Amino acid sequence: EVQLVESGGALVQPGGSLRLSCAASAFTFSSYTMHWVRQAPGKGLEWVSYINTIGTNIFYADSVKGRFTISRDNAKNSLFLQINSLRDDDTAVYYCARGLKSFDYWGQGTLVTVSA
């Protein structure tokens, strides 16, 4: 069965950095485009970023542009999100999701908490 497992979430001070990972299994990772989606505590879903199969086509939400960097390592079946200049409003569960125009499989998420 398709599995996506996120890791790397932590408690971080404002202005800090973090690298999130998403390990994929049971499907041909290199054939699928991927996304990061986040959800602040008690709030709705927010799309964060997209990467195509070979990492040459990348898009970001305006709220994270210039601070977040999405990347992937197809040899290691892994997706990454480098988060810099963290702000209080970046506090959220971060999900990786597989898909092109929709998100057909999701991980269980990793919690990023930004607090002094």
Partner 1 sequence: QSALTQPGSVSGSPGQSITISCTGTSSDVGGYNFVSWYQQHPGRAPKLIIYDVSDRPSGISYRFSGSKSGNTASLTISGLQAEDEADYYCTSYTSSSTWVFGGGTKVTVL
The residues near 13 (Cβ < 8 Å, ≥ 6 apart) are: 86, 114, 115, 116
> Pick from 59, 73, 88, 115: which binds partner 1 (CB under 8 A)?
59
Between 10 and 58, CB nearer to partner 1: 58
> Pick from 109, 110, 112, 114: which binds partner 1 (CB under 8 A)?
109
- Residues in contact with partner 1, shown as a per-residue x/- string from 25 to 44 under the rule CB under 8 A: ----------x-x------x
> Rule CB under 8 A: is residue 2 a binding residue for partner 1?
no
Between 16 and 47, CB nearer to partner 1: 47
Residues 69-98 that bind partner 1 (CB under 8 A): 95
Strand partners, 106: 97
Compute CA distances 86 → 37, 75, 92, whole Å: 16, 29, 11
Between 109 and 114, CB nearer to partner 1: 109
Which position has the token pair 């932590």? 10
- 48 neighbors 35 (Cβ within 8 angstroms): yes
Burial readout 67-90 (b: 16 or more C-beta within 10 A, e: otherwise): ebbbebebeebbbbbebeebeeeb
Q: Which residues bind partner 1 (CB under 8 A)?
A: 35, 37, 44-47, 50, 59-62, 95, 99, 101-109
